[in-house]
Amino acid sequence: MSNIAYLIRKDILLVYRYMLVLIPLLGYMAFLQTGGFMYYAVLPSAMMLITACTLEIQPANQRFIASLPVSRRRIVLARYASVLPYTLIGIALGLMMKIVAELLGQPISAVHWQESVAVLGINLLLASVFLPLYYWLGPKGMQAVRLAFIVLVIVGSTTFGYLLKDSLTMQRWINDGVWRAAPGLLIAMLSIVLLLILSLLLSWRLYERRDV
Amino acid sequence: MSEAVKVSDVGKRYGSFELQGIDFSVRQGFITGLIGPNGSGKSTLIRMMMQMVRPDSGSIELFGHRLAGESAQLRERIGYVSDENYFYDHLTIKRMKKILSPFYGSWDEEKFRGYLERFELSENKKIKELSKGMKMKFSLAVALSHSADLLIMDEPTAGLDPVFRRELLDLLTEEIQDDTRSILFSSHITNDLDRIADYIVFVNKGRLVFDETKDDVLERHVLVKGGKELLDDDVRGLFTGIRETDVGFEGLVSDRAAAQRAFGDLALLERPSLEEIVYFTSKGAAAYV
């Protein structure tokens, strides 16, 4: 396993207990039907990223990471790469909540693969904005940013979930299949990739210069 | 003699504090003590070696490789003990070990378990439940379990009880026996270094005072005690630091021969301890009781 995989494994080992607290909350929300699949999938995956960063915001913990025989570039790269496993965990939890909701007699609407793609897109977008702020602000301003992002995740994933259900454009994307939606999808994907690359370069630059 | 660490003309500015023109080496196979009062720049120098802090000027070489850009793999050869607990408080020792051991190719699980046993540490205990001394022991167990060629220890004895402090010093003496390992040990508890250090690097107010063998340092300096009538402006100029009372003085002179010429049998000349050298050098001429 490469160092990047070990760094992601570290983050998962660090945050999984915090995530266990989220499961009953999500189950309760499934029962109340206050969220959809998007919400159940985005919230835990985004929370994993934010919590992993928060746990390492203290200077002492940052020194632990910096003392490992891993370059700073790889440390930053691992943070971005961790979005993929977090998204998979989030999607698994989202599906689990759908089953829970059905068992509780409160079925939520059918889950489409496009929603899983959208979960990944949202998480990448979130990481692209959150991580440079994390590397730039350090412990000082991060508490406020973390709170703002948690609110953003909750409001954003719920709104996006409703949009996916109710917006005609979104419905066309879901109903017409991938080929007719391809141009829009391609533009969205390219935009996210471009943003992600710019964000990664910025985070590299910020973290490489920082004294910990 | 090969050098595990070579620090050349290093400088760093933090607000009003400035490290300037620091040059010293950590020789392979020896224990080097880095001493100086609190805030003199010891931890900053150590963090520079770990690439946590980037110098504004000068350069640092580890095992003959200049630290620049991507030198992260060199840290695999370093066992680092921080002056603070830098592990995740909410994890158990077992889980913390699970997180960090894969990063070290030469991690020796048997050795690690041996140290846990020797230090009486339970692997199921959470780090936040450990006392300061126990946290330091865990940190040491980690640093010693991946066959590091260089141990860098930032104030490892601070907060330890005298029994474990003595055990730690014995352990370090054991570790250095094979002549290939090197140890850099920063401390303001100079008694520890009196006991084990081969070389002493003294930093004060961001400047290097000396980098010499401990024997040379103790041989060269002299503690002078005498009556006040011996002091005049010329004599005062000899002292690195002096402490005067109403009846007499004691002061440190960094040139034993010059002190002997100046005082002869008129004053008491004694071999100083490292603590006295640090005290008088830091205080300079300011001490008056």
In a domain, B276, yes or no: yes
Does B236 reside within a domain? yes
Residue that terminates a domain, selected from B214, B232, B262: B214
Q: Give the H/E segment covering residue B201.
A: strand B199-204
End of a domain among B111, B131, B147?
Answer: B147
pLDDT tens digits, residue range B112-162? Answer: 999 999 999 999 999 999 988 889 899 999 999 998 999 999 988 877 888
> Do the chains contact at A211 and B54, CB–CB below 8 Å?
yes
B268 found inside a domain: yes
Judgement on whether residues B252 and B131 belong to the same structural domain of the protein: no
Residue of B nearest to A14 (CA): B91
- The one-character DSSP state at B181 is -
pLDDT on residue A144: 83
Residues B34, B159, single domain; the answer is yes
Domain segments of chain A as ranges: 2-209
Q: What is the pLDDT of residue B289?
A: 46
DSSP state of B145: S
Same domain, B263 and B177: no
B52 interfacial to chain A (CB closer than 8 Å):
yes
What's the confidence (pLDDT) of residue A9?
A: 95
* Cβ contact, residue pair A69, B51, below 8 Å: no
Residue A72: pLDDT band (50, 70, 90) is very high
CB B131 within 8 A of CB B122: no
Chain B interface includes A67 (CB < 8 A)? yes
Do residue B262 and residue B281 come from a single domain? yes
> Is B104 in the A-facing interface, judged by CB distances under 8 Å?
yes
Which member of A68, A72, A211 has the closest CB to residue B53?
Answer: A211
- Please give the Cα distance from B13 to A211 (Å, whole number): 12
> Structural domain tally of chain B?
3
CA distance A145 to chain B (A): 22
User: Residue B82 domain-assigned?
Assistant: no
B104:A6 CB<8 A: no
- Ranges of residues in chain B whose predicted pLDDT is under 50: 287-289
- Copy the structure tokens of residue B215: 């024997």
* Contact yes or no for A35/A29 (Cβ under 8 A): yes
Evaluate whether B64 touches B74 at the Cβ level (below 8 Å): no
Label the pairing between strands B207-213 and B78-81.
Answer: unpaired
Same domain, B3 and B57: yes
- B17 contact A CB<8A: no
Q: What pLDDT was estimated at residue A146?
A: 84
What pLDDT sits at residue A67? 94
pTM of the model: 0.86
Mutate to test the interface with A, among B51, B63, B128, B149 (most CBs of A within 10 A): B51
Instruction: Tell whether B72 and B99 lie within a shared domain.
Output: no
Q: A67 and B86: CB-CB below 8 Å?
A: yes
Which parts of B63-190 are beta strand (E)? 65-66, 78-81, 150-154, 182-187
Q: How many CB atoms sit inside 10 A of residue A20's CB?
A: 9
Q: Does B265 share its domain with B176?
A: no
- Give per-residue pLDDT as tens, A145-191: 888 888 888 887 777 767 766 666 666 666 666 666 677 778 888 99
| Residue A117 CB burial class (10 angstroms; 0-12, 13-18, ≥19) | middle
CA distance B152 to chain A (A): 11
B61 and B169 assigned to the same domain: yes
Closest CA to A55 of A120, A142, A128: A142
* Contacts B91 to A, Cβ<8 Å: 13-14
Residue B52 and residue A212: Cβ atoms within 8 Å? yes
B86/A64 CB distance under 8 A: yes
Q: How far is CA B137 from the centre of its chain?
A: 18
Amino acid at A92: A
What is the C-alpha separation between B236 and B286, in angstroms, rounded?
Answer: 12
Angle at A212 between CA B31 and CA B171, to 5 degrees: 25
CB B208 within 8 A of CB B25: no
Claim to verify: residue B13 and residue B71 sit in the same structural domain:
yes
Q: Looking at the structure, do residues B19 and B42 belong to the same domain, yes or no?
A: yes
The per-residue pLDDT for range A74-108, each reduced to its tens digit, is: 999 999 999 999 999 999 988 888 888 788 777 76
Considering only CB atoms, A71 lies closest to which of B50, B53, B70, namely B70
Q: What is the pLDDT of residues A106-140, one digit of tens each?
A: 776 777 777 888 889 989 999 999 999 999 988 77
Please give the backbone phi and psi of residue B32, each rounded to the nearest 5 degrees, phi first.
-110, 125
Q: Residues 238-257, chain B: which have Cβ within 8 Å of A?
A: none
- Its domain, for residue B266, covers 221-288
CA distances B8 to B55, B210, B283, Å, are: 11, 14, 27
Instruction: Provide the pairing of β-strand B248-253 with B222-227.
Output: antiparallel
Minimal-distance CA residue of chain B relative to A212: B52
**End position of a domain, from candidates B199, B214, B229:** B214
B76 touches chain A (CB under 8 A): yes
B131-B134-B136 Cα angle (round to 5): 110
Quick one: B141 and B167 in the same domain? no
- Number of Cβ pairs closer than 8 Å across A and B? 65
According to DSSP, residue B273 is labeled P
Q: Are residues B94 and B111 in the same domain?
A: yes
Write the CATH number for B198.
3.40.50.300
Chain B closest CA to A57's CA: distance in Å? 11
